Amino acid sequence: MFVGITSGHEFWGLPTFGLVEQLGYDGLFCGEHLLHSRPVWDAVSMTTAMACATERIAVGVAAAIAPLRHPSVLAKEFAGIDRISGGRTVLALGTGGDNPRELPAAGVPNELLGRRTDEVIDIVRLYFSGARFSWAGDLYPLDDVWLNPLPVRPGGPPLWVAGRKEPSVRRAALRGDGFLPYMYTAERCERAYAEVRAQARAARRILMPDFAFGAYVYVSYGTDHAAAVRRGDEHLAWRYSEPRYLTDLSGKYVVAGDADACVEQLLAYRAAGCTHLVLSLVRDERQPPEPELEAFAAEVLPRLRAATTATAT
């Protein structure tokens, strides 16, 4: 099972990005926002830095806001990042729209975000294919366009569909190279993965063997279980401006506790069919990320690997 780490919206610096690879994680990701209540680095800058600081692991955005850029710009930017990384880039795409001021600030209306995301995925895939093409869509009409230089990876970086609502499930089934839901329990992931497969079959689309059934999971690691749960809930309440994470949603969407608890809860995602975990390690953001990364890598990651290997054999 692939286990990646996201820095979220924080720039940890090149040495720490490199440390993620040294500690044995499989991937390093960032998030994306144009306007937010707290500082958020640009995803293109962040992913480029991640590519430069590492040599082997996957790097990418989880997730980029698909309608935020014109697909021609998006394809150009991430083809370049893929070349810098040597073909290690992954691009997860979501619709955005959480902040009603964000997309209009880029000249994009808040309407038709689903249609925009569909066209962005289709057009970016055409660019990555190396084709010279025209596009007659009413949102992004294109006449005789192409991409040069192309990404290193044939066909370009994998395009994962990110989201948590039903349209994202269908979009992943029909267009994606993977599905990356967030704020999903393991049980909900299992149902969603089955729906992705069912909708792909209904559309007579064959999912590739390396299709990524992912999950973006918050992890609050600590030996004091109650304190770890509380820290995770407080983080979600702050991140999403939703007090319910401290009441009726308490403990639902955060993997929390000591090594035993984290291994058990994360392996539940694998049992549900998850092939790719992208983990956001919750910590006091006044503290540096390195101790949390190192502790999790030393005490939890090897047990996840061992359990995965034992199950496979």
pLDDT for the residue numbered 313: 56
- HSE of 230, CA atoms in CB hemisphere, 13 A: 5
Q: Do the beta carbons of residue 180 and residue 215 sit within 8 Å?
A: yes
Report pLDDT digits (tens) over 48-101: 999 999 999 999 999 999 999 999 999 999 999 999 999 999 999 999 988 889
pLDDT for the residue numbered 136: 95
pLDDT for the residue numbered 98: 82
| Band (312; pLDDT cuts 50, 70, 90) | low
**Among 71, 67, 8, CA closest to 36:** 8
Report pLDDT digits (tens) over 132-151: 999 998 899 999 999 999 99
The SS3 assignment for 93 reads strand
Percent of the chain predicted with pLDDT > 70: 99
Report pLDDT digits (tens) over 246-286: 888 888 889 999 999 999 999 999 999 999 999 999 988 78
**What sign does the CA torsion over 24, 273, 306, 228 have?**
positive
Q: Where are the beta strands (DSSP E) in 186-275?
A: 212-221, 254-257
Does residue 242 have a pLDDT over 90? no
Tell me the average pLDDT of the chain: 94
**Torsion angle defined by CA atoms of residues 286, 89, 172 and 104, in that order, rounded to the nearest 10 degrees:** 60
Does residue 239 have a pLDDT over 90? no
Q: Is beta strand 89-94 parallel, antiparallel or unpaired with respect to 159-162?
A: parallel
Q: What is the CA 172 to chain-centroid distance, rounded?
A: 13
CA distances (Å), origin 236, targets 50, 72, 97, 254: 25, 34, 18, 9
* Of 27 and 39, the one with more pLDDT: 27
pLDDT for the residue numbered 238: 84
CB within 8 A of 301, min separation 6: which ones?
A: 3, 23, 24, 25
**Torsion angle defined by CA atoms of residues 62, 97, 159 and 61, in that order, rounded to the nearest 10 degrees:** -20
* Of 241 and 190, the one with more pLDDT: 190
Identity of the amino acid at 283: R
Q: Is beta strand 142-145 parallel, antiparallel or unpaired with respect to 133-135?
A: antiparallel
The residue whose two tokens read 């990555």 is 128
Report pLDDT digits (tens) over 4-36: 999 999 999 999 999 999 999 999 999 999 988
Domain 2-312 CATH (choose: 3.40.190.10, 3.20.20.30, 3.40.50.2000, 3.40.50.970): 3.20.20.30
Report which DSSP code applies to 183: S
**What sign does the CA torsion over 85, 89, 95, 98 have?**
negative
**Among 293, 235, 220, 217, CA closest to 17:** 293
Planar angle of CA 255, 259, 263, nearest 5 degrees? 60
pLDDT for the residue numbered 46: 97
**What sign does the CA torsion over 124, 34, 30, 209 have?**
negative
CB within 8 A of 14, min separation 6: which ones?
A: 49, 52, 53
